[in-house]
Amino acid sequence: MTASTGPQATATQEVTHLGRFTQQRALVLEAFIEAVAAEGFASAQARHARLLAADSPVGLSTVYRTLSALAETGRADVVRDMNGERLFRYRPGSDHRHHLLCAECGVSVMLDAVAVAVEEWAAGVARTSGFTAVRHTVELTGICPDCGPSVEGSHGD
């Protein structure tokens, strides 16, 4: 990323879509954007803990409100872990995505091929039902190859 398109510049642009600008919201967004590649999905509490570790004076409620606002505007993907907690990941574009999430380690895989079928199905449901502004959530979870049992040694060899 260049200096003009780095996390700080992106955070400044994004915060304008969320209503009132505050320095705390900008800090949350900057940390959120920086964490995309390294962390993937994470809870608001995990994001808050990282901010505190970096000596950022941001409250947990500000983190929750900012991440929820990002999700509402389509700028964050949200999935639920096995305990029902919402996990967030920054979405640089406004396109809707679907993921397969490991229930053990949290690693996620984007499902582009599945997304087309799901979007077509949802559009068809909207057309045939007469409903408008139809939204959907599809969450797929499982155990990734790194967390699951080894295929090689699973037969008692």
Q: Structure pTM?
A: 0.63
What's the whole-number mean pLDDT along residues 94-122?
80
What's the whole-number mean pLDDT along residues 10-26?
67
Q: What is the pLDDT of residues 128-146, one digit of tens each?
A: 999 998 877 777 888 989 9
pLDDT of residue 11: 53
What structural domains and CATH numbers belong to the chain? 1-92 (1.10.10.10), 96-146 (3.30.1490.190)
CA distances from 4 to 140, 149, 157 (A): 36, 45, 56
pLDDT of residue 10: 58
Q: Which residues contact 86 (CB under 8 A, 6 or more apart)?
A: 43, 44, 78, 79, 80
pLDDT of residue 129: 95
| Banded pLDDT at 5 (limits 50, 70, 90) | low
Q: What is the pLDDT of residues 48-74, one digit of tens each?
A: 998 999 898 899 999 998 899 888 888
DSSP string across 60-129:
HHHHHHHHHHHHHTTSEEEEE-TTS-EEEEE-SSS----EEEETTT--EEE-HHHHHHHHHHHHHHHHHH
